[in-house]
């Protein structure tokens, strides 16, 4: 499959990709665990909050989110890969979390039953590049809700050795390189006070902002 800079994400390819990766995904993402912790901290969650874990994968963010919102809070994880969300369900059952709802669905058609106070997009490039997916999430967030996105990005062209490392990592985890220079751009129109932090020499970003009031 070709993954040119202008090609849209491919759902069929993504499902096949994560079917292959499901059993090893947690190990593959271990290197980026500090980024996950930093991204969740940017959500500034408090007890009782409702948070959407968009593209939740095997549920690696659930423990941090549960710790932040407490037993009175709510977590909704959305993941289209049956193999990945099955791992997330096993994680929920092991921990006995009763306030976690998991939806096996593409994000753009996910039936989210409530409005949330925050949303996390952690290493979900394909989702962030689907305008309908971003719109569905934003429509289920309260005005002022906190949104954090994190993941791989192209560094500045002068930092070509960094981009040589980004390329194979991206090819392993996304189905389209479109928008990899600014993966958060489709969020930008819906958010206020957008801040973007570059990490690991520009290979990784954390973007954060709040949902603008509805007119």
The CATH number of whichever domain residue 118 belongs to comes to: 3.40.50.150
**Rounded to 10 degrees, what is the CA torsion of 30, 45, 82, 24?**
10
For residue 153, is it within any domain? yes
Q: Tokens for 62, please give them.
A: 């659930």
For residue 2, is it within any domain? no
Name the nearest CA neighbour of 14 among 60, 62, 82. Answer: 82
Number of domains observed in the structure of the chain: 1
Rg of the chain in Å (alpha carbons): 16
- Distance (Å, whole) CA 133 – CA 161: 32
For residue 33, is it within any domain? yes
- Distance (Å, whole) CA 150 – CA 124: 8
Task: Name the DSSP letter for residue 186.
Answer: H
- Distance (Å, whole) CA 206 – CA 121: 10
For residue 3, is it within any domain? no
With beta carbons less than 8 A apart as the criterion, state whether 58 and 28 touch: no
3-state SS, residue 22: coil
For residue 132, is it within any domain? yes
Task: Name the DSSP letter for residue 130.
Answer: -
User: Tens-digit pLDDT profile for the chain (215 aa)?
Assistant: 345 556 789 999 999 998 999 899 888 888 899 999 999 999 999 999 999 999 999 999 999 999 999 999 999 999 999 999 999 999 999 999 999 999 999 999 999 998 999 999 999 999 999 999 999 999 999 999 999 999 999 999 999 999 999 999 999 999 999 999 999 999 998 899 999 999 999 999 999 999 988 76
3-state SS, residue 184: coil
pLDDT digits (tens, 9 = 90+) for 71-113: 999 999 999 999 999 999 999 999 999 999 999 999 999 999 9
Domain that holds residue 205: 11-211
For residue 5, is it within any domain? no
With beta carbons less than 8 A apart as the criterion, state whether 134 and 184 touch: no
């Amino acid at each position: 499959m070709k993954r040119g800079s202008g090609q849209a994400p491919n759902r069929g390819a993504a499902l096949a990709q994560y079917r292959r990766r499901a059993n090893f995904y947690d190990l593959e993402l271990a290197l980026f665990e500090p980024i996950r912790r930093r991204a969740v901290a940017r959500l500034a969650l408090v007890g009782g909050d409702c948070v959407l874990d968009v593209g939740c994968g095997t549920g690696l963010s659930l423990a941090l989110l549960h710790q932040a919102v407490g037993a009175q809070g709510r977590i909704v994880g959305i993941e289209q890969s049956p193999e990945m969300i099955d791992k997330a369900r096993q994680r929920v059952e092991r921990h006995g979390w009763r306030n976690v709802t998991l939806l096996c669905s593409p994000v753009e058609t996910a039936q989210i039953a409530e409005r949330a106070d925050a949303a996390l997009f952690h290493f979900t490039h394909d989702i962030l590049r689907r305008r309908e997916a971003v719109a569905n999430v934003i429509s289920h967030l309260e005005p002022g809700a906190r949104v954090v996105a994190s993941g791989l990005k192209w560094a500045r062209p002068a930092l070509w050795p960094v981009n040589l490392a980004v390329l194979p990592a991206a090819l392993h985890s996304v189905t389209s390189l479109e928008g990899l220079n600014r993966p958060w751009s489709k969020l930008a129109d819906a958010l206020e006070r957008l801040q973007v932090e570059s990490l690991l020499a520009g290979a990784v970003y954390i973007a954060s902002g709040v949902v603008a009031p509805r007119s």
